[in-house]
Amino acid sequence: MAVSSYKLLFIALVSLAVSAAVVHARGQGRGHHGGKHHLRTGPVTYDGRSLLINGKRELLYSGSIHYTRSTPEMWPDLLEKAKHGGLNVIQTYVFWNIHEPVQGHYNFSGNYDLVKFIKLVQEHGMYVTLRVGPFIQAEWNHGGLPYWLREVPNLIFRTNNAPYKYYMKKYVTMVVNKLKEAKLFSPQGGPIILAQIENEYNHIQLAYKEMGFSYVRWAARMAVKQNAGVPWVMCKQTDAPDPVINTCNGRHCGDTFSGPNKPYKPALWTENWTAQYRVFGDPASQRPAEDIAFSVARFFSKNGALNNYYMYHGGTNFGRTSAIFTTTRYYDEAPLDEYGLPRDPKWSHLKDLHKALNLCRKPLLWGVPGVENLGKHIEARFYELKDNSTICAAFLANNNSKSEAIVNWRGQNYYLPPHSISILPDCKTVVYNTQTIVSQHNARNFVRSNVANKMRWMESPEPIPSTVQVPINNRTPLELYSLLKDHSDYAWYTTSLELNPRDFSVKESIQPVSANCKSRSRNARVCQW
């Protein structure tokens, strides 16, 4: 049979299989009554294969949606689209500097109503992974740490430092207790099944030497002692102390992740970057839907139990919340764009992927894994139940990024496009290929607002003050962050510099910067700006 015929047959099989997956998903989906979905809740444990929620294994498809980067009015629609896209977990950070902007004064209202957001996730039939931090990075101002911490005497961030550990523990305890009071952890009947302490600490751990290693051990113990009833994770933390689980962040964790640091921990992917956040001056970041799908299929084919898309919806950095150089538009190229609109084919292609993986659920969670080399760059990974050979799922991978292939596996021929994985939930029938998109493409159009068109730029002049109006208050330049205490990025202050003749321009055609200079001696002048 010619390659072109294989392609036609393959596309037909994909279309039929996706339809079958829809029927299967409807038949297997959790029921809901009165508009509210019912989640399986209870104690959460784990083994080397997956998380165990009330004793039952789960395949988990997660997406990051940060409550602070959207509005409460947007949350129901975002969660509904995430659910419809095949997700069963929502991941979010908890943002210390917006919840405790002033020491001892807490804010959990409006866009910052964490409890309301988590309850909405549960109403939509999804679980929650809570990344408490408290350092979160997240392209967020000060990495989520409140400014007032900088003014605590002798405090050193993120190390075995008594003042920092005191305030960190106090904050983590406050967050966990608040969520316990709302009964939001899974053993209480809530949706939270995982929590994270710290964030990518391996990046700086060696700089602190032994103080860094002891801090990791302390943070793990402190988190576990919160008795939240769910496992804790540390992302990109190869030495995560038991019982904390080390997880992967990156684009291709199916190949780059060395795996859990103990055989009795599951393989979890906390950040699968769907694009890249933007900084001012950079073009839009693109990551093809085909590459994301390939990475997810590969991870689950290699014993993966949870994949989280970072971000699934990026949203907006309101006010001064974004980190340095980061634009207000955050991960606009995610499956749901800044406005919550689906980006197709990315959103739909991943939705079809989740359906295909759900068809493989039983062999993936209970089957015995196997691998067969089918040629250069070609392999088959499969899972079968020992006592029931009909329960079988396979992943046929073509790792060659340039050449297609036709392979024979278990007596059947299969066409594999370049850099693709075909999913066979019965070890016979291809229902999905990561490189073959059958979903629609869309484009986003803008209509100019009548209200916005009536706006006009206005100038607010601000004359440079003189030294009489703003006397010298410091003999050396001030550190901006300490001066402004993170309330603004702009300020006037006056200082003085002592300049020698060699500090001025020596060419007659170049005039020195205007300054009020007075001779102090034959060889020096004092200038004020």
Query: Active site includes 200?
Result: yes
Rounded to 5 degrees, what angle do the CA atoms 53, 58, 63 make?
Answer: 105
Complete DSSP assignment for 79-94:
HHHHHHTT--EEEEE-
Complete DSSP assignment for 286-323:
---HHHHHHHHHHHHHTTEEEEEEEEEE--B--TT-BP
The whole-angstrom separation of Cα 12 and Cα 3 is 14
- Contacts of residue 295, defined as CB under 8 A and 6 or more positions apart, other chains included, come to 251, 252, 253, 254, 272
The whole-angstrom separation of Cα 393 and Cα 379 is 14
Residues listed for the chain: 529
86: left (phi over 0), alpha (psi -120 to 50) or beta: left
Q: Identify the helix (H) or strand (E) that includes residue 366.
A: helix 361-366
Q: Which residue matches tokens 């509210």?
A: 36
Tokens at residue 486, please? 């993170």
The whole-angstrom separation of Cα 163 and Cα 168 is 9
Q: Which of 271, 290, 333, 379 is catalytic?
A: 271
Nearest in space to 291 (alpha carbons), one of 272, 267, 278, 307: 272
3-state helix, strand, coil in the chain (%, to 5): 30, 25, 45
> Residue 46, SS3?
strand
Torsion sign across C-alpha atoms 172, 173, 174, 176: positive
The whole-angstrom separation of Cα 438 and Cα 188 is 41
Which one-letter amino acid corresponds to residue 311?
A: M
Q: Identify the helix (H) or strand (E) that includes residue 23.
A: helix 3-28
Query: Active site includes 372?
Result: no
- Contacts of residue 74, defined as CB under 8 A and 6 or more positions apart, other chains included, come to 340
Q: Which residues carry out catalysis?
A: 200, 271
